Amino acid sequence: MAWKGLHLTQPSKLSLADGQCCVKRDDGEVRIAIEDLAWIIIDSPQTTLTSTLMSACMEAGVAMVVTDGRHTPSGLLLPFHRHHRQGAIAKLQADAKDSFKKRVWQTMIRRKILNQSSVLASLGKPDADTLKEIARHVEPGDPGNVEARAARFYWPRLFADFVRENGNDRRNKMLNYGYAVVRAGVARALTAAGFVPALGVFHQGAANAFNLADDLFEPFRPFVDLLVWRTSENGGGKDGELTVEHRRTMAGALLVDTRIGSDNVTLLVAAETSAQSLVRALESGKPDRLLLPELEAAA
């Protein structure tokens, strides 16, 4: 079972050797069993890799994330046709009733807001219970856009002097990096479960190949938010560029612990569990079969 991530921030040469991912650098060579890898982040413009390794990674279900010159994740490579019931599950997606999709979206957004509440509670913020009350008002399909109301309440209480759209704020850079990594893990899990990630339950962007991943990813976001708070001088640290340490911390976001159902697991495993439970929900027509990660407030 895959459980490791590989984050490359220095010039490296990647190749396939004896069924392993071989990483060569000036200071030596490291080999990692491909079946242990869940994701690879290529965060150095001087990194090269062979097509043979890429093919092996796709066969093993490894998600590969690449960054641009500013070290911002800019692309994602995923395998396809990895599930023996791909066609059947795609048909379930396409045939899902609007009423089902609206209730699934309600479940996702409620859990997202409840996880945001747990973030504030973990940090000793006084307004966590208000978010719990806001979550109760999410209706199927969220026609009242309660999600946005919760966001307007949440962000000023999490970070001081913060505007989510400010691309110069280092906290936003960290959020975007962490989100991209966890979103890749969610997309990987959906592909492995047989889904077509472009067919969403709420997101329907014609140019978005990961609509369903963006749907399922919503309850995972608060885990990244909390990680950023803890990594950015307790919510401060507005100014400056991302350091290698910042990026390395965000690259490990999929290893953050969570609870899903009765199990304590990493976000990586939680993504797989959520994707598999979504299959069961579609097959049964029961949205309540969907399992999502729960952020437990620290005592």
Q: Does the CA dihedral 56-61-62-63 come out positive or negative? A: positive
Q: Give the length of the chain.
A: 299
Give domain 4-77's CATH architecture.
Ribosomal Protein L15; Chain: K; domain 2 (3.100)
Between the alpha carbon of residue 79 and those of residues 61, 117, 204, 220, the distances in Å are 6, 35, 21, 22
Q: State how far the Cα of 182 lies from the Cα of 253, in Å rounded to an integer.
A: 7
Among the ranges given (45-49, 113-117, 231-235), the one the predictor scored with the smallest mean pLDDT:
231-235
Q: State how far the Cα of 187 lies from the Cα of 79, in Å rounded to an integer.
A: 10
Q: Does the CA dihedral 216-35-75-243 come out positive or negative? A: positive
In terms of Cα–Cα distance, which of 254, 246, 251 is closest to 223? 254
Mean pLDDT calculated for residue range 209-227? 96
Q: What share of the chain is helix, strand, coil (3-state, %, to 5)?
A: 50, 15, 35
Pairing of strands 20-25, 13-17: antiparallel
Domain positions in the chain? 4-77, 86-289
Q: What is the pLDDT of residue 241?
A: 86
DSSP code of 10?
A: S
Q: Are 78 and 43 in contact (CB under 8 A)?
A: no
Q: What is the pLDDT of residues 178-217, one digit of tens each?
A: 999 999 999 999 999 999 889 999 998 887 889 999 999 9
Q: Are 159 and 229 in contact (CB under 8 A)?
A: yes
Q: Are 220 and 182 in contact (CB under 8 A)?
A: yes
Q: State how far the Cα of 251 lies from the Cα of 34, in Å rounded to an integer.
A: 18
236: confidence class by pLDDT, cuts 50, 70, 90: confident
| Axis-axis angle for helices 221-231, 98-122 (nearest 10) | 20
Q: What is the pLDDT of residue 84?
A: 62
Q: State how far the Cα of 186 lies from the Cα of 161, in Å rounded to an integer.
A: 31
Is 70 exceeded by the pLDDT of residue 223?
A: yes
Helix ranges, the chain (H): 51-60, 86-95, 98-122, 128-135, 146-158, 170-192, 211-217, 221-231, 244-251, 267-284
Q: Does the CA dihedral 38-41-46-49 come out positive or negative? A: positive
Q: CATH 1.20.120.920: does it fit domain 86-289?
A: yes
Pairing of strands 13-17, 48-49: parallel
222: confidence class by pLDDT, cuts 50, 70, 90: very high
235: confidence class by pLDDT, cuts 50, 70, 90: confident
Query: Phi-psi region for residue 146, left (φ > 0), alpha (ψ -120 to 50) or beta?
Result: alpha
- Amino acid in the structure at residue 108: M
Q: State how far the Cα of 179 lies from the Cα of 241, in Å rounded to an integer.
A: 17
Structure tokens given for 171? 């906290």
In terms of Cα–Cα distance, which of 262, 150, 112 is closest to 104? 112
Q: What is the pLDDT of residues 8-55, one digit of tens each?
A: 999 999 999 998 999 999 888 999 999 999 999 999 999 999 999 999
Q: What is the pLDDT of residues 256-270, one digit of tens each?
A: 999 999 999 999 999
